[in-house]
Chain A
Amino acid sequence: MNAIRPPSALREGALAFLARYDGLKARLPGDPALRAAAAELFRAGGLPGPREEAWRYTFLRPLVEQEFHEPLVPLADCGPLLARLPAIDAPRLVFVDGRYRGDLSVPPVQAMVTTGAPALGPLARPESEKMVALNTMLAEDGAEIAVPAGVDAGTLLLVSLGTDAHGRAVAFHPRHAVHLAAGARLTLIEICMGEGAYLHNPVLSATIEAGATLTHLRLQDEAKGAFHLSTVYADVAEGGTYDSFALNLGARLARMEVHARLAGPGAAAHLNAAQLLSGNQHGDFTTVVAHDAPNTQSRQTVKNVLTGNARGVFQGKIEVARAAQKTDGYQMNQALLLSPGAEINCKPQLEIYADDVKCSHGATVGELDAAQLFYLRSRGVPEAEARAILVRAFLSEALDPITHEAGRAALEQAVAAWWETQAA
């Protein structure tokens, strides 16, 4: 049997990361055996490539063409970046180039936080997700966040800043874990920003016990020259909820991959997202929802607004196990193409092994509606403003369900700022 060999560019890109691991491994914190196993997996499989079904539409060639260095001890003045953070009155954990910066952080009171080592968590699957293997091999730091049973821990910001202070691209692979004990609640607002070129490859695993609710609002607003390849695992027990919204608008190449497992009866996951992409950006939102228990519910409303020569990808897989009767799964992917050069690739996948389920999915692709545009303009609204109104309206089914006021305001602000840079 011939082993499938990844294209040589991807193989070489993988070698650079492996060389880094070989040089660093003696100094890396955490369980060396776990890392060694991940390194073996990564050595055998390399970076994911277009020959794999899950990576057909997202090609990592630009990533391997970039040379990455080890982050230096961060001396960078993060003032300008911090000033761009949305004003949300909440405790925050700030990572700079993947390392926790206590001096910039305000730890929460109601949740317990540990930093200084990768928070490996129980859920990640380095054996099947190559970017997770890479993360496991090279993770240096991360936040472990735990909320005790029955506690409402309010809002917590998890901030990643990528710097380019030394003019050399860096790669960082933080590893976070969130644990909500039974009945606990937390709103985690994750914000990724930066400047220059870098690779941010975070993995976050969230364990949501019975009746607990994690609201996860994510703003991916990385620097124009950055790569963002993130993986989230959420495991939801009986009656628990993983309620998430991701805004994918930064980086030159971004993939936000989410694996949600509804493990107990009545568990629910909302994986809403919006991708706003322009120029030569490539954005990918990939989800896998596993309904493993009866009466579980999943909702995915994904909106894409693409201009220039941007490429958007949505892949959404819903797996319904034999035991998961009365599953209610809904998935909708819609794209607004604002220029002839923009492109969307959409791949819904349903794998259903139970017989009494309700699963629906749909996709639409279109342009701004000429009649709607004219209606607004005929009322005196200038064309640029009319277009902005219609784009915002298109996003509303994904944005409006966000009940966290400050979080929604921050996301709205990011959408408005994005639109202003398009109109300018």
Chain B
Amino acid sequence: MLEIKGLTAEIDGKQILRGIDLVVPDGEVHAIMGPNGSGKSTLGYVLAGRDGYEVTGGTATFDGVDILAMEPEQRAAAGLFLAFQYPVELPGVNNANFLRTALNAIRRAHGEAELDAVQFLKLARAESKRLSMPEDTLKRNVNVGFSGGEKKRNEVLQMALLRPRIAILDETDSGLDIDALKIVADGVNALRGPAFSALVITHYQRLLDHIVPDRVHVLAGGRIIRSGGPELAHALEAEGYAAMVAEAA
């Protein structure tokens, strides 16, 4: 269970998160929506442990363990995964090697045997096929020259291989065509179960038709100003944020 209490954070001395309270129980999928610049990606980065994002107050625990004190790689080993809004290109790093290194690092941290190249490729090929990724995706450099949608699918491929316990998907739907959206949603839904939870950041109701959330939260001005069931996303789609933000102010 992910529990965030009164979380405040700043970048370069500028306060972005102004007191986030959020609980995502195991097995649930929560959506976060909100205007541009409201702090959604910042929340993801803070939870994943990116440098330069200074936590100034509050707590974040996963299964009762303080994750804010951990290194990013320790958070990953603990089961946290962030699908980046803007996946990073790694020129000179082969995608298959990257995926295998990541998977084996996590397996090592769990005391599991590492996969050799053959075992890994079998697994990776199966997963990338399931996500309808082009054949050569594994052979290319990580995200280099990938189309926007391919990059997002590559994030989902990583998630599928690393099998996190909680996934934060930061606008994984933006840039996807309609078929890809469905494929990606299927990828997330395939992981759903009592031991998996997700925080899905999105601007569009469309994704939530495929990944039906248990809860929807509206993040504005660094705070969660409203929470509700799936119907909240429909209301936002119809009315926009302005009225809700004005009401919360």
Residues of A that sit less than 8 Å from B by CB: 370-372, 374-383, 385-386, 389-390, 392-397
CA gap between A374 and B48 in the complex, in Å: 9
Whether A397 and B105, one on each chain, are in contact in the complex, defined by CB atoms closer than 8 angstroms, is no
Q: Could you tell me the distance in whole angstroms from the C-beta of A364 to the nearest C-beta in chain B? A: 13
Whether A377 and B73, one on each chain, are in contact in the complex, defined by CB atoms closer than 8 angstroms, is yes
Q: Which residues of the other chain, A, contact B158 by a CB distance below 8 angstroms? A: 379
Partner of A378, one of B49, B91, B92, B101: B49
Whether B73 and A383, one on each chain, are in contact in the complex, defined by CB atoms closer than 8 angstroms, is yes
Whether B93 and A385, one on each chain, are in contact in the complex, defined by CB atoms closer than 8 angstroms, is no
Q: How many A-B residue pairs have CB under 8 A?
A: 74
Seed contacts A372-B88, A376-B98; 14 additional CB < 8 Å A-B pairs: A371-B88, A374-B48, A374-B49, A377-B49, A377-B76, A378-B72, A379-B98, A380-B102, A380-B105, A382-B73, A385-B105, A389-B93, A393-B90, A393-B92
Whether A380 and B76, one on each chain, are in contact in the complex, defined by CB atoms closer than 8 angstroms, is yes
CA gap between A422 and B81 in the complex, in Å: 30
Whether B105 and A378, one on each chain, are in contact in the complex, defined by CB atoms closer than 8 angstroms, is no
CA gap between A375 and B106 in the complex, in Å: 14
CA gap between A244 and B105 in the complex, in Å: 36
For window 102-155 of chain B, which residues contact chain A by CB distance below 8 Å? 102-103, 105-106, 109
- Check if B204 is an interface residue, CB within 8 A of chain A: no
Q: List 9 A-B contacts (CB under 8 A).
A: A374-B49, A376-B98, A378-B75, A378-B81, A380-B103, A381-B105, A383-B73, A386-B73, A393-B92
Q: A374-B50, A374-B72, A375-B84 are in contact. Are A381 and B91 (CB under 8 A)?
A: no
In the complex, the chain A residue whose C-beta lies closest to that of B90 is: A372
Residues of B that sit less than 8 Å from A by CB: 48-52, 71-73, 75-77, 81-82, 84, 87-88, 90-93, 98, 101-103, 105-106, 109, 158, 162
CA gap between A381 and B102 in the complex, in Å: 6
Q: Which residues of the other chain, A, contact B105 by a CB distance below 8 angstroms? A: 379-382, 385
Q: Which residues of the other chain, A, contact B84 by a CB distance below 8 angstroms? A: 375
Q: A371-B88, A389-B93 are in contact. Are A378 and B48 (CB under 8 A)?
A: yes
Q: Which residues of the other chain, B, contact A393 by a CB distance below 8 angstroms? A: 90-93
In the complex, the chain A residue whose C-beta lies closest to that of B93 is: A393
Whether A374 and B73, one on each chain, are in contact in the complex, defined by CB atoms closer than 8 angstroms, is no
CA gap between A188 and B150 in the complex, in Å: 43
In the complex, the chain A residue whose C-beta lies closest to that of B88 is: A375
Q: A370-B51, A374-B51, A375-B84 are in contact. Are A380 and B93 (CB under 8 A)?
A: no
Whether B77 and A380, one on each chain, are in contact in the complex, defined by CB atoms closer than 8 angstroms, is yes
CA gap between A35 and B49 in the complex, in Å: 66
CA gap between A385 and B101 in the complex, in Å: 9
